[in-house]
Structure formats: structure tokens, C-alpha cells
Amino acid sequence: MQSSPEFIVIGSGVAGLRAALELAREGRVAVLTKDRLDESNTEYAQGGVAVALSDDDEIELHVEDTLIAGAGLCDEKAVRVLVEEGPRYITELIEWGAQFDREGGELAFTQEAAHSRRRILHAHGDSTGREIVRALIAAARKHPNIQLVAHAATIGLTVEDGRCCGVQFIDPDESLRREMFARAVVLATGGAGQLFAQTTNPSVATGDGMAMAYAAGAMMCDLEFVQFHPTALALADAPRFLLSEALRGEGAILRNHDGDAFAKSYDERGELAPRDIVARAIVAEMKRTSTRWMFLDLTHLSASFLRERFPNIFETCLRYGLDLTKDLMPVSPAVHYVMGGVRTDTHGRTSLPGLYAAGEVACTGVHGANRLASNSLLEGLVFGARAGAAVREDSLPLPGNTEAEAAEFDLSQWRLDQRTKSRVQELMWWKVGLIRRAEDLKVAVEELTRMCEENVNERTRNFATLARLMAEAALWREESRGGHYREDFPNRDDGQWRVHSAQQAGQPITGIEHISKL
């Protein structure tokens, strides 16, 4: 393994791979990932990628839809970067070999909730993320300057003289703790859905990157804004498998146990309202009818269309005894995406020199209080590339010491303590969940603070610390906006709360107006 690359990227999802390809134009890049190269939230993205490329779409419409979904908290500068540069990077991805679905030779677009146009590209029906990762990994493997290192878990960031200049990681070949130095580090470690008991995220989404950045001194923003996907498969013997937003975009209907369509009783947009509204409508209907799930009905749609358009969802449901074309799908909300993260400008720069971030781990302000469906893959491409370009532009020198150190490492000191993990997950689900109130949040903060002080390893403490930061931010924001709903403060208050939460080690939580101004 090369000991002194010029650049380090942590994470092999869409943001990390795109950053690595940008950096490889300048010098050697090491891409470290704690699992398989293709195991990330990107791979599980079913619905597609939103981009204003169709003949009846416009950049301004995509901007407007994103701003509306973000509930008044999007940074418009970041949104314009995303939407205006998106077509360029999607076209580039197609040139690299990504195969999006087509009709009659032309790109096929579908519609999802809160989009005013059919602008969602998809691949192999419902395997868009997997196809994007495949194309990016293929491009990275062809580049002589990129070294892809799987099963190399990063356990900390190295900071010297106020600058991030490397990482500590577990060598996958020898189970040694090693240190690697570089001109800059790009954090692309994804989200933190595993903080909650019910999530659509894979097991790797434990928020390690966010926690390491916070511990190193970087500022965090908007951690109170957590998106609950309305329609996760609700079976006792099945994982919380995501039933894509695109199902509702193609005409799926939400029904209660009496068979009544109820979504429009809560919002005139019905099934196509923003995710936070649909998720709360399902919870409200579950409470009203004293049931534990609702149903998603696609039986009125063409069976052949459903099998062709959603092959992965169709086959997965069959494994659990449900036929998408004949049966009602039991669904309930589950944590899906974290809008907040490590604060960055529109070039991926964090508040810690030498540390850059892109993708779900970062918070550019592009999503505001509620991410517009299918903007996340586009975000990874656009801001991954921009972070890589910013690193090249900043031209930070290699640190004076680039000798890699190695030491024996007890793997038990890195593994998450399962007892603590389960306690955190249940506490976050019940006290910091879809519907929040002060008394619950205070209980969560107190217990999570105690967990952070317990005699556990550093990774477990980081896990509890990130949960505590989320709970503190949710307690601080005394209003309801987007993915953050306070039962005791049910109204949106632009007069006082149209600000981003900001948290940094050793400092009280505060509000800032613009994320993009670092």
C-alpha cells in the first residue's frame, strides 16, 4: 500500500469516487473505504437522479422545486450550483459508460414527489445508484493515479498546526493501525441512518465521518433535519427495505386498513407531497386508526410495466411473499437521509483547513430542511467534483512528516459496542424521531451525554456523540420546519428560526444565516 499519496478520499460512494477522479488529474489519490468498494448509500439509491435535461424542463423549475421542498432553509447559491452544473456532470457520467434507461433511444424520465416535471433519470428500472457506482468504479480503476483500498476503516483524522493532514486507519491486510499523510483529505463517508432503530440505510451508515470531523474541530450544521422516507416495507421478518418514491410518482396510492385513500386528506398534493408531509400523514393515519402500518397500492397499474420498471423492488418483495402487482404493500416511515452534516462552502471546504467534504456527510445548505427526492445522487456528482477541484486549486503542500507509522491494533477497540448501539438506536427512534417534543428531547440529551462518558471505545463514543448532537439541535430549534417536527412548536417561524444550526466542539450551539459563507 502506498504510504504517501498526495490526496486521501474517505468513502467510495458517488461523491468520493467523483472527487477521486477529479484529484487524479493532479496527483496520486488513495480511496479508503471500510467495507466493499460498492457498499454505500449510493448503491441502494433506487429512484434515480434528478436533472433538468428533458425538453419540457427548465433549470429555474428545478431550482424552484428544490427551494420549496427545503422549507425556506436552502442556500440558494448552493441550489443553483447543483441544478445548473448537474446536466454537465450527468452528461459526463454517460460518456464514462453509465447506462440510464431509454425509450426509443432517448433518455427516459420519470416523476417523483414535489417535482413539477418528469426529470428523474433511472437505470435498470430501480437500480440507479448501483449503475452510477459501477460506472465510477470502472473509471477509477482505469486511472493510474487512483488506488482503491477496500476494508480499510478510517478511525481518526490527523490534525497538526490547525490543519488536517492525514488519517489513521486499519490496514486491511495486516490488521495494523496505520497513519497516512497527504496534502488534503476529502470526507465522503455518507450518512448516519444507523443512529435510529428503523432505517433504510445499510449497516455501514453509522456517521463515522461526521463524528471524526466534529472530534477534529470541524463545524457541524443542521443535524436536527432528518428525512424519514414515508414508504419502507413494514414486515416483521424483513429489513426496512425502501419502496421507492418513484412508485408514487408512477401512480401508487396510499390506503388505510379500510382500503380508503387518505393522503389528500392531509395535503392536496396527496401521494406527491414532499416526503416529510407524506411521512407525517402516514403516522397520523396510523394513530387515528390504531394500526402499525399503512398500505401502498399498485394493483391498478400494469403488471408488465411494474415488473419492467421496478425489477429489484418486485423481486425483493417476492422473496417476502408479496407480489407488487397483486398485493397491497405494508409500509411505514423509516429514517432515510440526514440533511445536515459537516459544514462546507459550495466548493467542499470545511471550517478545518485541509479537510473537505462532499455528499451526505456534508452540509452545503442545498437541501435546506428537507431534501427534494433524487437530488442526492446529483449532489454527490456535482459537489464531489467541486471538492476535488477546490483541493487542486488550494495547492496545499505535503506535510513535513509523511512517514507512515504502524502499530498493533485490537479490532475490538474499533467495533461498535452492540449494547450501546442498540440503546442509542431505540432512544433516537422514540425520543428524537418523526414527531418530537421538549420533554423527550431532554431525556435523550441527558442519557446520550451519560453514554458519551461511559468506558467505551472511541468509535462507540463517537456514535453516541453524534446522536447527542442531533438531539441537542432538535431541542434547540423551537419550531417545525421540513424534516424537523416539534409537536410543542408545530408552526414554522421564519422571523426567528430561518437560520442554520451550528455546532462545534467546546462551543454552544448557535444559528448562522448562510452555510456557504465560511
Q: What is the set of active-site residues?
A: 275
Which grid coordinates belong to 267?
A: 395535503
Give Cα 232 distance to the centre of its chain.
16
Find where cell 416535471 sits: 117
Cβ count near 287 (within 10 Å): 10
Say which residue the cell 480503476 belongs to.
141
Question: Crossing angle of helices 128-142/376-394, nearest 10°?
Answer: 30
Instruction: Please give the Cα distance from 491 to 423 (Å, whole number).
Output: 31
Which residue in 485, 481, 487 sits closest to 73, CA to CA? 481
Q: What does the chain come to in residues?
A: 518
CA-CA distance, 192 to 197, in Å (whole number)?
12
Q: What order do you get walking across the sheet with 49-50 strand by strand?
A: 49-50, 120-121, 109-110
Phi, psi of 175 (to 5 degrees): 55, 40
- 3-state SS of 213-240 is HHHHCCCEECCCCEEEEEEEECCCCCCC
Q: Give the 3-state secondary structure of residue 286.
A: helix
Is the Cβ–Cβ distance between 32 and 167 less than 8 Å?
yes
Q: What is the DSSP string of 66-120?
A: HHHHTTT---HHHHHHHHHHHHHHHHHHHHTT----EETTEEPEE--TT-SS--E
Q: How far is CA 264 from CA 260, 277, 281, in A?
A: 11, 11, 9
Q: Tell me which residue of 464, 218, 439 sits closest to 344, measured CA to CA.
A: 218
What gap in Å lies between CA 32 and CA 166, rounded to an integer? 12
Residues in a beta bridge with 235: none
* Closest C-alpha among 154, 158, 152 to residue 217: 158
Q: What is the Cα Rg of the chain in Å?
A: 22
Residue 61, classed as helix, strand or coil, is: helix
